Amino acid sequence: MKSRLVFWLAALLLFLAQAYSKPWKRLETFDWDQGGYFSYLPARFLYGDPGRPDSLAKLVERHWSQPDPHPMNSLGMSKLPNGKFITKYPMGVAVSELPWFAGAHLYARVHGDPLDGFSRPYQHAAMLAGLFYAVLGLWVLRTLLLRYYSDEVAAWTLAGIGLGTNFFNYSSYEAAHSHAVLFLWHALLLYCTACWYERPRLRWALGMGLFLGLAVLCRFTEAIYVLIPLTWGLSSGAALRDRLPLWGRHFGQLALGAGLGALVISAQLFFWHSVSGMWVINGYYGEYFDFSRPHIWEGLMSIEKGWFIYTPIMALTILFGIPLLRRSVPAALTPTVLMLPVAIYLTFSWEQWGYGWTFSARPLISIYPLMALSLAALLKAALRSNALGVTTRTLVAACVLLNLVQTWQYRKGFIPGVGETAERYREFFFRLN
C-alpha cells in the first residue's frame, strides 16, 4: 500500500464528509467553541472594536438554526469591568483563519452575501480552513514517517491516524474547532525538532519556536508540548550528558527560536491589554483544573467519552507500539513516555473532563503526531512476520472501520455527545438507520 495513495484517499474522505455534513447545510458552524474562536475576526475587522458585543450577539442569533436566548454565552464571552466583552478562547485559531476570512469577505462582496462576518461564505471559510490545515498536517506527518519507516508502514500509519481516530471528525464535520490546526502545528513542531537534533540549523530552531508558540496561542495548555524539543533524543546516558553542551554550542539559534515563540504568544497579551487595560485575563470563570481528582478512568474507559472505547487504535498503540519504539526511533521514546501521561493527566484534570458535546477525547488529538511514531513501530515489527502482519493490519483496518461508522453515528445522533449509556451503545452498535 502506497502512503501517497492513502494520503489522497484520506483527504478525499475528509472533503466528502465535510461537504455533506450537517453544519455545512444548516449554518451551525459557529456554535460554542467554534464561534468563540472565530469571533475575533468580525469583531476586529468588520466592527472595529474587539470588545464590542452587540452586533456579534445579534448576528450569531440570526444565523443559528435555533436562536439562542444567550448567544454571547455560547461564544464563551464574559463582561469586563469596563463594559466590554471578551471571549475566553485564545486567538490562535482566529489567526490561522484570517486568510480564509479575508477570502470569504471578498467573495461575499462580489457575490452579494451579507458582509456581516457570519453569513454562509464566512462559515464555509472557517470549515475549509480547518480541512486544509488537517490535510496539510497529514502530509507533514507522512513526510516525518518516511524519515524513519518504509512507505508501506507510513501508509498504514496514515490510515490509522487519519481515518481511525477522532481526528477525522474534528477535521471534517467539526473542522472549525482548534484540533485540526493544532494537529498541523504539532506535526511541524515534531518535524522541526527531529531535524534540529539531527543537524542543528537556525531554520529548525525558529520552526520549533514558531509552531510551539502558535499551538499555545490556540490553547494555553499546549505549552506542555515543550517537553518534545526538551527531551528529544535522550535515549542514553551519553545523550543526557551531552544535552547541555549541545544547547550551549547552539545557544543563539535556540534563543532566537524561543524568542519567536514568545513573540507569537505575546499577541494574546497585547490583545487583552488593548481591550481591558490588563495584561492577563482569566475568561474561564467557574471552570478550573482539579489536579487532586482527575477523571482518568472515565476519560479513558467510560462508555460516555472513553478514549480507548471510541479510539481503540490508541490503546493498541500504547500497549504494543511504545515498547517497540526504541528499535525504530529511539530519539522519540523519552518524549513519548513523558508526554503521554502528562497529556492524559492534564486533559482529564479539567473539571468538565468530557469537554461538552464531543466525540471521544478531543484534546488528545494534539498528541497524535507523536503517537504515530509508536503506531508505525508496531506496524514495522509486525510486517516482518506474515501472521503478525496480517493480524496487525486487520486490527488497524477494523479500527478505521469502527471509527468511520461511529463518527457517522455521532453526527446522526446514534451516539450522543453527552450522556451515552452502555445499553444505548449496545442497541445502536454499528446500526446505520
pLDDT of residue 76: 76
pLDDT attached to residue 22: 65
Q: What one-character-per-residue DSSP string does 235-287 give?
A: -SHHHHHHHHHHHHHTHHHHHHHHHHHHHHHHHHHHHHHHHHS-S-----TT-
pLDDT at 25: 60
Per domain, the residue ranges of the chain are 3-17+125-428
pLDDT for position 57: 58
pLDDT at 102: 96
- pTM, two decimals, is 0.94
Contact of 158 with 111, CB cutoff 8 Å:
no
Identify whether the C-beta of residue 21 lies closer than 8 Å to the C-beta of residue 34.
Answer: no
| Alpha carbon distance 247, 225 (integer Å) | 18
The helix, strand and coil proportions of the chain, stated in percent and rounded to the nearest 5, come to: 70, 0, 30
Point out the residues of the chain with pLDDT beneath 70.
22-27, 52-74
Q: What is the predicted pLDDT for the residue at 139?
A: 98
Residue 55: the pLDDT is 54
- pLDDT at residue 277 in the model: 85
The answer to whether the beta carbons of residues 345 and 296 sit under 8 Å apart is yes
The 3-state DSSP class for residue 79 equals strand
